[in-house]
Structures are given as structure tokens and as C-alpha cells.
Amino acid sequence: MKILHLSDLHIGKSVNGFSMYPEQQYAFTQIINYIQTHHPDAVIISGDIYDRAVPGVEAVRLFDDFLTELAGEDTAVLIISGNHDSPERLNYASRLLADKRLYLYTTFDGTLHRIVLKDAHGDVTFWLLPFIRPSSLRGFFAERSAETYEEAFAMVLETADIDHTTRNILVSHQYFTHAATPPIRSDSELTPIGGLDAIDATLIESFDYAALGHLHGTQSAGPEHLHYAGSPIKYSFSERFQEKTATLVTLEEKGDLTITPLPLTPIHDMREIKGTLDTLVRDSLFEGSQDYLRVILTDEEEIVDPMGKLRSVFPNIMSLAFENTRTKIDPGTVTAHAGTAPKTLSPYELFCEFYLDLQGSTMNAAQTEIVREYLESQEEL
């Protein structure tokens, strides 16, 4: 049996004010092409379909188009909700869609749902669990309650009558960790303080494959078969070195599993460049100048409208920062040795740095004059 595993679509997401709609649409086109090439028996989407609980019209339309294309292929589609999704909204028309072999299980009802598919080796049971919190279990387990995410998941797992002599696949958006394999986290993920949502991955090692969502980098939670598909595109600069993929899983007889990453190429990659303004502008014709960029300027002198100058050659700058001798000054040192501060930065220079950091550009002539006059008036008091 072939399975295409996806997760964390985050349809509707914007990064630094840039809509990711074109990138998402481009990734979905590649995914459909992979389905038409490899003909998987099932497509799994392990949660976080949308980026917000109440998605915008454009996001809903894009997911509708994607589902319509999936329904046109000869494959079963299994979808759960993630921590970003609204389970009730995502569950709309789920019973009707099941007739099209689109199975949405997004609202927890106290049990693991099962979908059974067949291949030449017999049954493969898919166990679907939307994202749950300890509070999600209230009213389903009599007087029992769960204090942690791990306790909540263990309680749900107990309700399932799983025959581990056959092939079983878990579909989950919980955060599973393994003591021997530190997770690769991304800035675009929601991270509870202290990792309170973490669940010991040993609880799911008996599944033949765990189709996991939540982490945006493709990785395993310990053993290879406990697999995070990762997001199809990059949603933060912390992911700039990650290779985004769709995961093709080939499951033969029990114990015979192959995982193959299928690369997803972005329209615009995410990268970081650093140097002086003149150097970066001079070298602006390098391959990738249209990518989403975080630019770090190392100029020592003040620059008028650096963002405007850079965007004339790098249209997709998402972030601008500065790295020079002034930005490397330790504020604690200046405070502790106030007597030496004027020799390092004057009040005017300090304000210029503050304005630059706040606005991303330097003051114009009129603003400069106002600041100088004000500071001079304060010195006369």
C-alpha cells in the first residue's frame, strides 16, 4: 500500500505581511502531480489545515480547490484537525464527503476513529485522532480526568481495540518526543511554555507507521516510522535551511516499510543575506534575488531609507536588521559606566539608533533638526 503523508498546510498564512497563498497553491499543484505519478492508495493530512480557526474566504477557496482535485483521483483522503483549526468548521459536510472517500475526523467524540483499507496483503487500519487537550476528554471518561497531554492521549489509546498482529497506522497532530532524538522546532509553531504538550513517543512505537503533524520540519520522533511530514512550505526564517517534502510511505507486509521524501520546490525560497548596502545592491543580480529575504546590513554610517533602496533590487524583503559596532554595544555596560557613555554614543546617536531600530529607516532632515534642537534645549536646563 502506498500512502502520501502531508501535514501543517496552514492555508491562509502570511509571513511578515506577505501572503503565502501563491506558494501554497504552487505546492498543492506539485502534490497533485505526485499523486498522479505514484498513485497512492491513501493521502493523509495530519492537521493544521488552516492557519486560523476562522479562515479567510481565499483560504477556504484554496482548500476547496485542493479537496476537489484530490476527490478526482483514485485515492482515499484522511484528514484530522490540528491545534490551529476550528474542529467544528472543518467538520462541515464530513458525512457527505465520506461517500467520495474523503474522511474528515476533526471533532473529538471520545474514541479513536478507524478507517480500514485493503491491499494485496490484507487490511490496513488507519486510526484517526484530531488534536486534543486534557480538557477535550471531559464528559467522555466518567469520573476519570487527565492532567497532562500524555495522560489524555493514553486514555484515548486505551479505548481502541487495536490488533497489533495486523498493520495499523496512527494519524495524529499531538506533539510526540523521544528522549534520544531532540525535536527540531520552528519559530512558526505554537510552543506551550515548558513543553507541556509533549507526549512520550514510546506510547506509539507499536504502530506500523505514525503519520504525525505539528512540527514544521520533516523528522522522526525517534524511530523512523514515527514520522512528522512537516509543512509543505517555509513559514519562518528558522526553516530556511529545511528541505520541504511530501512523504511517500510504501507499506508491504507487516514490518516492511519504506519512507521516501518527495521534494517540494517553492516559487520563492527563504534566505538570509548580510553585507553593506553598496555590496548587496552591486551583487543584486545573484540567483535568488527574488526570494523572501532577511537582510542584515553591516554599514557603520547612517543610511537614509535603507528599506526603500534595498527593495528596488530585492522586492521580497521580509525583514531588515543591522549589525555594526553600534548595535553590538552592551546596554548594560553603558548603564554601569555612565561616565564613559558620551565617549561611545551621544544622546543624539542613541536616539538615531532607537529610531532606526523602530522604523527601519533613518530620520529625514526635518526630523533630525527637531531632535537636535530638543536635545540642545535639554542640555541648557
C-alpha to C-alpha distance for 283 and 205, rounded to whole angstroms: 50
Question: What's the confidence (pLDDT) of residue 131?
Answer: 95
C-alpha cell at 262: 518527495
Mean pLDDT, residues 289-314 = 91
User: Are the C-beta atoms of residues 316 and 18 closer than 8 Å to each other?
Assistant: yes
pLDDT digits (tens, 9 = 90+) for 163-218: 999 999 999 999 999 988 888 888 888 766 556 789 999 999 999 999 999 999 99
Q: b/e string for 203-239 if b means 16 or more Cβ within 10 A?
A: bbeebbbbbbbbbbbbbbbbeebbbbbbbbbbbbbbb
Contact 143, 102 (CB under 8 A): no
Q: Rounded mean pLDDT of 145-157? A: 93
Nearest to 116 by CA among 199, 1, 225: 1
- Report the pLDDT value the prediction gives residue 360, as an integer from 0 to 100: 52
CB 78 within 8 A of CB 115: yes
Specify the pTM: 0.83
The neighbouring-strand residues paired with 77 are 43, 102
With cut-offs at 50, 70 and 90, classify the pLDDT of residue 337. very low
Dump pLDDT digits (tens) for 210-258: 999 999 999 999 999 999 999 999 999 999 999 999 999 999 999 999 9
3-class state of residue 211 by DSSP: strand
Q: Looking at residue 342, what is its pLDDT? A: 42
Structure confidence at residue 357 as a pLDDT band (50, 70, 90): low
Of the given ranges (110-114, 118-122, 335-339), which has the lowest mean pLDDT?
Answer: 335-339
Mean pLDDT of the chain: 88
CA distance 314 to 280: 9
C-beta of residue 180 within 8 angstroms of C-beta of residue 135: no
Check pLDDT > 50 for residue 335.
no
Q: What is the pLDDT of residue 362?
A: 61
- Nearest Cα neighbor of 292 from 217, 359, 243, 240 is 240
Distance CA(131)–CA(85), nearest Å, equals 9
Give the total residue count for the chain.
Answer: 381
> What is the average per-residue pLDDT within 107-114?
92
Cβ contact 82:8 at 8 Å: yes
CA–CA separation, 98 and 117 (whole Å) = 14
| Model pLDDT, residue 177 | 94
- Give yes or no for a contact between 87 and 47, defined as CB atoms under 8 angstroms apart: no
What local confidence, expressed as pLDDT, does residue 332 receive? Answer: 45
pLDDT tier, 286 (very low <50, low <70, confident <90, very high otherwise): low
- Which residue type does 104 have? L
Q: What is the dihedral of CA 173, 175, 177, 181, to 10 degrees?
A: 80
